[in-house]
Structure 1
């Protein structure tokens, strides 16, 4: 069975973006970025919600294009509008069921790319297998939470951790 891996940068107070989607709060250079880029090569599928996908538009990603050329893309959104010739697939309903189906397909690990609301839905459905955090040495006080709308405790088991010179701490957990 394939694993869903939530691999994301987070502030010390638990936000994956600051107010107004600000990601400039995270260090964008250093060994932790190199390690993340190496991990990206191990995923063959990426899943994300609408807001995470559309966030790429401000960095030049055309609507319907792949953000990660080597990965199959599934965008989970009831309302996103993409061109008919889009390189990405859209999932409009039964999100948890579709992720379960993906996990049962042949292939490598599935990269859950950002999206606190989508991550919260998957966590509530027990569909995230591994949490990989790049914990930045910053407190932003608000923004997009790591998990939104989670109503029950999620226990984690730490598999590994590493502190980088940049002050970013990488932590890998399994979810119980």
Structure 2
């Protein structure tokens, strides 16, 4: 059975984006874009690098290591479209979840307007590699019981407010720490699995 991994950058106080939900990588001082943690991402998780950026980083022909499918919420997807990128992950099967969108401009992007939990359970039964949940918080909250692995790229910054890691009702879920990778940049990559 395939597994669902929520791999996302977050602040020390648990935020993945600013309150306006704009792309955090475009905000100075939010997430560190330079440092040794970036080299590890390119080496260990090449498939999370957007397709249009991969050639400049020498990853154009790099095979996927973990994932063959990416799940994205409407707000995250629309942020890319607004920046002129209709399908940031052409090298993966790309599903966008929305109850309000009726179409998406990405030719290969699949729009899902049904229950995300039912869809993820269906995807888990298919043959293939792991499934990556890129965000956002609303979709992650809806899928919290389906998340098998949580990989946090924890940045040494606090935000004070913003978009939390998961949105939704108070529902504590326990995870087991499986791996910690420390970087000179101060970033930690923390891998948790459901026990």
The answer to whether TM tops 0.5 is yes
Return 5+ residue gaps in structure 2 as ranges: 48-63
For 1:70, the equivalent position in structure 2 comes to: 91
- String of CA shifts for 1:48-67, please: whole Å, max 9, x gaps: 110111111243213xxx21
Residue aligned with 2:193, SS: strand
- String of CA shifts for 1:85-110, please: whole Å, max 9, x gaps: 72100110121101100011000011
Counterparts of 1:7 and 1:83 in 2: how far apart (Å)?
Answer: 23
Indicate which of 164, 167, 171 corresponds to 2:190.
Answer: 171
Q: For residues 33 and 96 of structure 1, do their structure 2 counterparts lie closer, same or farther at Cα, with a shift above 3 Å needed? A: same
Counterparts of 2:88 and 2:39 in 1: how far apart (Å)?
Answer: 18
Indicate which of 174, 182, 186 corresponds to 1:155.
Answer: 174
For 1:89, the equivalent position in structure 2 comes to: 110
For 1:26, the equivalent position in structure 2 comes to: 31
Runs in 1 of length 4+ with deviation above 4 angstroms? none
Q: Given that residues 21 and 75 in structure 2 are in contact (C-alpha distance below 8 angstroms), is that contact kept between their aligned partners in structure 1?
A: no
Residue aligned with 2:176, SS: strand
Return 5+ residue gaps in structure 1 as ranges: none
What pairs with 1:122-141 in structure 2 (closer than 5 Å)? 122-123=143-144, 126-141=145-160
Q: For residues 83 and 10 of structure 1, do their structure 2 counterparts lie closer, same or farther at Cα, with a shift above 3 Å needed? A: closer
Instruction: Tell me the CA shift for residue 84 of structure 1.
Output: 7.3
Counterparts of 2:99 and 2:105 in 1: how far apart (Å)?
Answer: 16
| Superposition CA RMSD, Å | 1.6
Counterparts of 1:52 and 1:84 in 2: how far apart (Å)?
Answer: 14
Q: Given that residues 121 and 150 in structure 1 are in contact (C-alpha distance below 8 angstroms), is that contact kept between their aligned partners in structure 2?
A: no
Matched residues, number: 171
Q: TM-score, structure 2 length as denominator?
A: 0.82
Counterparts of 1:165 and 1:84 in 2: how far apart (Å)?
Answer: 40
Counterparts of 1:48 and 1:84 in 2: how far apart (Å)?
Answer: 14
- String of CA shifts for 1:9-63, please: whole Å, max 9, x gaps: 000000001222251200112232232233123210000110111111243213x
Matched, 1:59 2:78: no
